[in-house]
Amino acid sequence: MTSVPPQIPLKEEYGGDEINALVLDPGSHSIRAGFAGEDTPKSVVPTHYGVLSSGHHVYGENAIHIPNADMEIRNPYNTDGLVEDWDTAAKMWEYSITSRLTGARQTPPSRNGLNVVKDGEGDVEMETDETSKAKAETEKMEEEERDRALAEYPLLMTEPAWNPVKAREKTMEVAMEEWDVPAFFLAKTGQLAAYGNGKATALVVDVGHYNTSVTALWEGMVLRKSTTHSPLASSFLSDQIRRMFTTTTPPVPLTPYYLIASKIPVDAGHPASATYTNFSSPPSPSFRRFEEDRVLTAFKESVVSAWPGPGRLEANLEAVKLTPPRPFEMPDGWNNVFGAERYKVVEGLFDTKAAYPPPPSSTSSSSPSQSQYTPKSDDSIPSMIHRSVNACDVDARPALLGNIILTGAGSLIEKLPERLQSDVQAMFPNPRVRVIAAGGSVERKFGAWIGGSVLASLGTFHQMWISREEYAEFGAGLVERRCK
C-alpha cells in the first residue's frame, strides 16, 4: 500500500494564471486574513493575546477566554493604532494565516507526542537503519512543507495612513524574511475601503478600535496631507459607557460572564441576585477588562445609539425623552432601561464637550482600567472631516464631500451615519454632502479587507507587487517608493 502523496501538478498543467494571493488586514482589535477574491475574510482572530506566567503566549479565541489566574491579556498595538511589540505582532499575523488558511505550522507527528509507542516492555519499535532513514526523510518533507506554508502566496497587507516609514519597512522585512513570501504589497486601509465601495475618489471615515481616521482619496491616490486620526473610536466609546455606568446613581454593576455561575431574574434596577464563580486565585485585571468588553460590545449592539440629528443632543433633550428607552440585562441579572444615556455615550464622538469626563483621580485608583483621556475639541469626527477637507484642493472638495464613505466596525453604532450626514451637512452647507455607509455589517466591519481582496484579484494589480528578487536587490526602502 503506497501512501506517498501524489505529485502536485504544476501550475501550467491546469492552466491557471490567476495568482491566489493572501490579504492580511491587521488591526488593533482583530486581524483579518483571507484569500483574495473571496467576499469575506475566512480568518478573523482577536489581536489580544494571553501571556502565561511562564512567558508563553497564547493566541486565538479558544485560548484567551479561559479564566486563568496566571494569564495576562495584552495587545501588541499602542493606542495610536501602531504596532509596538513587533515580535508578537508578527507571530499573531502568521497565526491568523496559518491557523485557518494554509494549515498551521505543526510539530511533525513523529515528534508531537501523540503517536508515541506507549508500552515499555512489549512491541517496542525497533529503530532499524531503514526506519530512521525514512523518518528523517519524512521529517525533512514536513519541514519543507511548513516553510512553504506562507512562501506560496503573494501577500497584500494593509496599514494605517499614518504608519511611519520605519514600521512600513519593518512590515516588509517580516513578510520577506520571516515568511519568505514571493511577492508583497502594502496598501492603506482608507484606500482599500474606498475600493471595496467601488470609489476611487472619496473621503473615507474609518471608525476603528483605538482610532478613527479620515483619509481623502483622489483618483485612487491618498492625499497624504489630508489624513487625520484621533482616538475617538470604539475603545473611547467603551470608556464612555464605563464612565456612564459609574456616574449613574446607583452605579451600574459591570460583571463579566466568567464570574457568574448562575443568575436569577430580578426586577429592573434591583440589585443582582446571582451565584458567583469562586476562584481560588482570580484572573488578572487585564483579563477582567477584556471580558468586560464583551459585555460592552453587547451593550453597544443592542442599546447604544447616536442621536440622529439634526442638531446636537443637548439641544434635543425634549425629543430624546419621547423616544422609548431600551432595556439591557447584565450577565449577573441586573437590568434596567437606558433612555437619554444611550445617546449620550456616543455624543462625545461628535461633540467632545458632551463626553463624560474621566473619573476623578481618587476613584480611578479603584478602577485603574479606565483611561484618563479627555478628548480635545479638535478630535471629534466632524472637526476631523473639516480639517481634512480644508487641507485638500478647493476643486476636489465637492467630489470628496459627495463621497464620504463610512466604514469600520465602530461605525455600526445605530444612527451614526445619519448623524454624520447631518453634522457634515451643517458644516458644509453649499456642496452636496452624501455619507455612504454599506448596508450590511460585513461590508463595514471588513471594509478594508474586502477592498484588498478586490485589489489583489485584479489582473492589473499583478504589475505592482514587489517581488522577492526586487527586495533582495533594493532592500526594504523599496516600500516607500512603490507602495504609495
Partner 1 sequence: MPPFRDDQIFIIAPGSETTLAQLGLPESFTPARYRLRSRMFRAEKAGEYEPIKIRRKEKAPPAPTPAPTAPVNGLAPAPNGAGSKPETTAPNDDDEWEEDRVSEEGAVWPIRGGKVVDWPCFYALMTHVYNYVNPPFHTPILLVSQPVWTPKEHEKVTQFFFEKFKVPAFTMVDSAMAASYAYGLTTATVVDVGLSKADITCISDSVLQDIGRSIAVPDCGGEAMTERLMELLNLRKGFTREVCEQLKKSNICEVLPSDFDIPTNDSVGGDAHSANPAAAASTGADGVPPGKRKQSVVADLPRGPGPNTQVGEEKKLEDEEGVLDIASIVTGGNMSEYLAQKEREKQEKAAARQAKKAGTAGAAAARIIRLPNNKRTRNTFVYEDFALHDAMKKAGMSNQNMADMQSAMDFDSSGGTGPNAAKRQKTPEPQSAVSDKPPPDAELLASPGSNGSGFRREIEVGPERFQAASGGILDRLADAIHRTIQSCIDVHRRSELWENLVVVGNGAKVRGFKEALVEVLMRKFLVSPSSATMFVSELPSRMSTPGGTGTSTPLPLSHHGGGGVNPLLLAATTAQNPGLLHPGGVSSSASASASGLLAPQQHPHSMHSSHAQTPTSIKLAKIPEYFPEWKEVGYEEAQFLGAQVAGRVLFVVDPAASGGAGGGGSKGYMSRTDYNEQGPGGVHEVCL
Residues 416-445 contacting partner 1, CB under 8 A: 417-418, 437, 439-442, 445
Kindly state the smallest distance separating residue 61's Cβ from partner 1, in Å.
6
Piece of the chain touching partner 1 by CB under 8 A; list 71-79, 361-369, 409-417, 457-465:
409-417
**Pick from 346, 299, 339, 337: which is nearest to 317 by CA?**
339
What share of residues in the chain are helix, strand, coil (percent, to 5)? 40, 15, 40
Give the residue, chosen from 246, 286, 335, 370, that forms a contact with partner 1 under the rule CB under 8 A: 335
Number of residues that bind partner 1 (CB under 8 A): 90
Give the residue, chosen from 50, 331, 359, 451, that forms a contact with partner 1 under the rule CB under 8 A: 331
Among residues 39 and 87, whose Cβ is nearest to partner 1?
Answer: 39
Cis peptide before 398 (omega within 30 of 0): no
Kindly state the smallest distance separating residue 7's Cβ from partner 1, in Å.
8
Give the residue, chosen from 51, 151, 320, 337, that forms a contact with partner 1 under the rule CB under 8 A: 337
Kindly state the smallest distance separating residue 479's Cβ from partner 1, in Å.
27
- Residue 199 DSSP SS3: coil
Give the HSE-up count for residue 286: Cα atoms under 13 Å, Cβ half-sphere. Answer: 14
| End-to-end alpha carbon distance in the chain | 55
Among residues 334 and 471, whose Cβ is nearest to partner 1?
Answer: 334
Q: Give start and end residues of each alpha helix (H) in 98-188.
A: 129-151, 165-173
Question: If you compute the radius of gyration of the chain from its CA atoms, what whole number of angstroms results?
Answer: 26
Give the residue, chosen from 53, 78, 262, 363, that forms a contact with partner 1 under the rule CB under 8 A: 262
**Pick from 221, 188, 157, 161: which is nearest to 456 by CA?**
157
Residues 6+ apart with CB under 8 A from 274: 255, 260, 261, 262, 263, 264, 332, 333
Residue pair 400/202 in contact by the 8 Å Cβ criterion: yes
Among residues 302 and 467, whose Cβ is nearest to partner 1?
Answer: 302
Q: Whole-angstrom Cα distance, residue 295 to residue 259?
A: 12
- Residue 377 DSSP SS3: helix
Piece of the chain touching partner 1 by CB under 8 A; list 60-68, 342-350, 380-388, 425-433:
60-68
Find the binding residues for partner 1 in span 280-299 (CB under 8 A).
294, 297-298
Piece of the chain touching partner 1 by CB under 8 A; list 198-206, 408-416, 425-433, 456-464:
408-416
Find the binding residues for partner 1 in span 183-242 (CB under 8 A).
none
Residues 6+ apart with CB under 8 A from 88: 49, 57, 74, 76
Q: Whole-angstrom Cα distance, residue 427 to residue 381?
A: 12
Kindly state the smallest distance separating residue 322's Cβ from partner 1, in Å.
8
Among residues 325 and 431, whose Cβ is nearest to partner 1?
Answer: 325
Interaction mask 1-20, partner 1, x per CB under 8 A: xxxxxx-xx---xxxx---x
Among residues 221 and 264, whose Cβ is nearest to partner 1?
Answer: 264
Q: Whole-angstrom Cα distance, residue 173 to residue 175?
A: 5
**Pick from 197, 240, 234: which is nearest to 411 by CA?**
234
Kindly state the smallest distance separating residue 333's Cβ from partner 1, in Å.
8
Find the binding residues for partner 1 in span 68-127 (CB under 8 A).
98-103, 106, 109, 112, 114-115, 117-119, 121-123, 125
Query: How many residues appear in the chain?
Result: 484
Find the binding residues for partner 1 in span 379-398 (CB under 8 A).
none
Distances (CA, A) of 58 to 61, 63, 327: 9, 6, 36
Give the residue, chosen from 52, 264, 317, 458, that forms a contact with partner 1 under the rule CB under 8 A: 264
In this structure, the strands spanning 22-26 and 155-159 are parallel
Among residues 266 and 426, whose Cβ is nearest to partner 1?
Answer: 266
Kindly state the smallest distance separating residue 103's Cβ from partner 1, in Å.
5
Among residues 118 and 481, whose Cβ is nearest to partner 1?
Answer: 118
Q: Whole-angstrom Cα distance, residue 317 to residue 340?
A: 8
Give the residue, chosen from 24, 28, 33, 35, that forms a contact with partner 1 under the rule CB under 8 A: 35
Give the residue, chosen from 151, 167, 260, 427, that forms a contact with partner 1 under the rule CB under 8 A: 260
φ, ψ for residue 194, nearest 5 deg: -65, -45
Piece of the chain touching partner 1 by CB under 8 A; list 208-216, 227-235, 263-271, 362-370:
263-271
Position 139 contacts partner 1 (CB under 8 A): no
